[in-house]
């Protein structure tokens, strides 16, 4: 009996946020299942992981950016051109990284539109005693942006897969809606 060929969908995601907030650690934990103990500042790196999302094989490619305080960098715009979804990342122990979510969101909406798939990701939730951003604040911003919100800990393996899968599911949902629209027209 021949094996049934299965379509593999690739999702191109972009992680944006300030340096040293845990973007790379989260991505490495997601794609390679380990927590990097030493910090090596990211220049730009791309990671891939094959996984199963809702019984479908998927390859998630994540571009880890090095946002160096130049919020309107041409590089961010270039990265956005190739992305299908975004993880807006801040650290729960850095109010400044959280306050910059509006700036990044503005860029995304300007370049990709209001309904572009994204999620707000609070990293380092294992450092509750150093928290500077409340869960309710993050939920309020996510509601204002019209996206989901989740807190993670790459170090403790908390909610590591969820933000990547959530954005991929939103891309899937939007693709199905778009396909139904074109089918209805055709």
Residue 156, domain member (yes or no): yes
CATH code (residue 56): 3.40.50.300
> Averaged over 166-176, what is the pLDDT?
92
4 lies in some domain: no
- Arithmetic mean of pLDDT over the chain: 88
Q: Is 1 within the bounds of a domain? A: no
| Number of independent structural domains in the chain | 1
Residue 170 within a domain: yes
What gap in Å lies between CA 156 and CA 153, rounded to an integer? 5
Q: Is the pLDDT of residue 2 over 60?
A: no
Write out the residue range of the structural domain in which residue 82 sits. 9-185
Contact 100, 18 (CB under 8 A): yes
| Position 141 pLDDT exceeds 90 | yes
* Percentage of residues of the chain with pLDDT beyond 90: 69
Residue 49 lies in a domain: yes
Structure token pair of residue 22: 């845990």
pLDDT digits (tens, 9 = 90+) for 5-53: 567 899 999 999 998 899 999 999 999 999 988 766 655 688 999 999 9
What Cα–Cα distance (Å) separates residue 30 from each residue in 19, 126, 162, 180? 18, 17, 9, 32
> What pLDDT, in 10s, does the model give residues 63-74?
987 655 544 566
Task: Give the residue-averaged pLDDT of 165-178.
Answer: 88
Any idea which of 31-40, 55-64, 103-112, 118-127 has the lowest mean pLDDT? 31-40
**The whole model's pTM is what?**
0.88
Residue 41: count of CB within 10 angstroms of its CB: 9
Confidence of residue 126 (pLDDT cuts 50, 70, 90): very high
Report yes or no on 152 lying in a domain: yes
Q: Are residues 16 and 104 in contact, defined by beta-carbon separation less than 8 angstroms?
A: yes
The pLDDT of residue 79: 80
- Is 15 within the bounds of a domain? yes
The answer to whether position 3 is within a domain reads: no
| Contacts of 162-167 spanning 24+ positions with Cβ under 8 A | 163/26, 163/87, 163/119, 163/121, 164/13, 164/30, 164/49, 164/60, 164/62, 164/87, 165/51, 165/53, 166/119, 167/11, 167/13, 167/85, 167/86, 167/87, 167/117, 167/118, 167/119
């Amino acid at each position: 009996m021949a094996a049934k060929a299965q379509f593999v969908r690739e999702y191109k995601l972009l992680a944006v946020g300030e340096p040293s907030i845990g973007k790379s650690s989260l991505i490495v934990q997601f794609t390679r299942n380990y927590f990097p103990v030493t910090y090596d500042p990211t220049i730009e790196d791309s990671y891939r992981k094959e996984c199963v999302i809702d019984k479908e094989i998927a390859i998630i490619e994540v571009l880890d950016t090095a946002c160096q305080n130049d919020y309107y960098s041409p590089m961010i715009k270039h990265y956005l051109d190739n992305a299908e979804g975004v993880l807006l990342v801040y650290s729960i122990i850095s109010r400044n990284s959280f306050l910059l979510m509006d700036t990044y969101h503005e860029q995304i909406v300007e370049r990709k539109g209001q309904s572009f798939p994204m999620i707000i990701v609070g990293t380092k939730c294992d450092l509750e005693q150093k928290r500077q951003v409340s869960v309710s604040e993050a939920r309020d911003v996510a509601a204002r942006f019209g996206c989901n919100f989740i807190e993670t800990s790459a170090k403790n393996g908390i909610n590591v897969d969820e933000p990547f899968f959530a954005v991929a599911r939103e891309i899937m949902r939007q693709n199905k809606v778009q396909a139904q629209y074109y089918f209805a027209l055709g």
